[in-house]
Amino acid sequence: MHDELVDHLTRSTPLSRGEALRVVQDVLAYFDETTEEYVRRRHRELQAQGLVNATIFERIEADLKYRAVAPPELSLRQLRRIVYG
């Protein structure tokens, strides 16, 4: 799976083949997250940092534009619905 990328990482970094494979798998899993999963995870992370919902939802709204495959633009209300149902 993704042998070319793993080979590139082993040539260009001090990572072993096993370490490079784990890095690739971790990155792919990160970007495999659905929009809803991402919003919920980021909400929990930002809430744990002590941020209030108004700030959290504005930050998530801004961050979504920079995802590898940007989802459709979501309103603050839609973001709240994802988190709270």
Size of the chain, expressed as the number of residues it contains: 85
For residue range 12-40, list pLDDT tens digits in order. 999 999 999 999 999 888 888 888 999 99
Residues 12, 18, 22, 24, CA torsion sign: positive
Region 68-76: mean pLDDT is 78
Region 36-47: mean pLDDT is 95
Residue 70 is predicted with a pLDDT of 64
Extract the tokens encoding 74.
Answer: 């979501």
Residues 20, 22, 28, 33, CA torsion sign: negative
